[in-house]
Amino acid sequence: MPSEHFDQHDVFMKLFLQSERTLLRYVMCLVPNVHDAREVVQNTAVALWKKFDQYDSEQPFVNWACRFALIEAKEFLRSEQRWTRFLDDTTINELLCQRDAMLDELDGRRLHLRSCLRKLSPKQLGTVEAYYFEDRPIEQIAKSSRRTVDAIYKSLQRIRVQLRHCVDRHMQAAEAT
């Protein structure tokens, strides 16, 4: 293969990896299941690579990539019958408009969430990491922690409430200053 192909591939990989988290957050506005959203992002990466020669490097890569992610997300939603009754094109467009309008607030919440996660007990943090970051099934988390599935669900619910209150307090304090 010519070195130009490798150079182009390296540029693509760098741009994609820099944008991957933003793309996942974008897709998760439309595809609520993290596993499905990751699949959509993977499909987006394939589509982006196929069209990378058409990318205008004068434009932000993430904006270009989000257009592909939207197409892939809509395709996924159409293929999943369970979502089509909830998310038609009008609803999808409204969700994306609301996301764009809230982008600064969401970024602030994400920063405060990091701080709030550090305040969790080691046991709570372990549960959160296992479920949200390692994508482990509830049953596996329950088994490894010698707790019931119901106890893990209840624990996650309490942790989410705790984190939401913590983030809200941080947001209110930031607005007051």
Secondary structure class of 163 (helix, strand, coil): helix
Per-residue pLDDT tens over the stretch 61-98: 998 999 999 889 888 888 876 555 566 777 777 777 77
Q: Same domain, yes or no, for 92 and 154?
A: no
How many domains does the chain divide into? Answer: 2
Q: pTM here?
A: 0.56
Q: Same domain, yes or no, for 55 and 83?
A: yes
Q: Same domain, yes or no, for 14 and 26?
A: yes
Owning domain of residue 133:
104-176
Structure tokens at 75: 């395709």
DSSP 8-state secondary structure symbol assigned to residue 59: S
Per-residue pLDDT tens over the stretch 103-143: 677 778 888 888 999 999 999 999 999 988 887 888 999 99
**Predicted local confidence at residue 136, as pLDDT:** 84
